[in-house]
Amino acid sequence: MQTIRTAAPADLPRIVEIYNQAIAARNATADTIPFSVESRMDWFLAHNPGSHPIFVCVTNDQVAGWLSVSPYRGRPALERTAEISYYVEYNCQRQGIGSALMRAAIEAASRLNKHIYLAILLEWNTASQRLLEKFGFEKWGYLPEVAEFDGRLCGQFYYGKKVGSPER
């Protein structure tokens, strides 16, 4: 059984472990150096559950995936726009965890006062492209060859979706 809830500080080690899997794989994030739990504490604390939560999916009493709703560029005119990022434990992929997290984030958009969600992903992350398109995200932009991994160049796609209510 899957449970989606807001992340608690005790979840941070698992969140970091899952993220470090993506860093090692070089296919789902532009970060290339693994993080320590301590180095991610400020990031975690900056995610206010009332405006920019981190959701976790718990399966068999363990965090199996997470999704963060983060400020986009930190500028006042963009406060109703958020960047979403999501990662699923490799052994738990293709079990509906990404979909459950995405559904929770979209359902929370109005409560969070968000009107636009953006996802920025590496062009070779086709699994993420499929997930976003499944939930009605559209390709809104492309930055060619902006990332480099061991001499291989990779572009980034910007996906976007109108969520929540446009009224204030």
- The DSSP secondary structure of 104-137, one letter per residue, reads HHHHHTTTTT--EEEEEEETT-HHHHHHHHHTT-
Asked if 20 and 34 count as a contact pair (C-beta separation under 8 A), the reply is: yes
Asked if 2 and 97 count as a contact pair (C-beta separation under 8 A), the reply is: yes
Q: Could you name the CATH architecture of 2-162?
A: 3-Layer(aba) Sandwich (3.40)
CA max distance for the chain: 46
Domain ranges of the chain: 2-162
CA distance 153 to 14: 30
Mean pLDDT of the chain: 95
Least confident of 53-57, 73-77, 114-118, 161-165: 161-165
Q: How confident is the model at residue 166 (pLDDT cuts 50, 70, 90)?
A: low
Q: What is the DSSP string of 58-78?
A: EETTEEEEEEEEEESTT-GGG
Q: Does residue 1 register a pLDDT over 90?
A: no
CA distance 11 to 131: 24
CA distance 24 to 107: 31
pTM of the model: 0.94
Question: How buried is 18 (Cβ within 10 angstroms: 0-12 exposed, 13-18 middle, 19+ buried)?
Answer: buried
Q: What is the pLDDT of residue 27?
A: 87
CA distance 101 to 97: 6
CA distance 117 to 168: 16
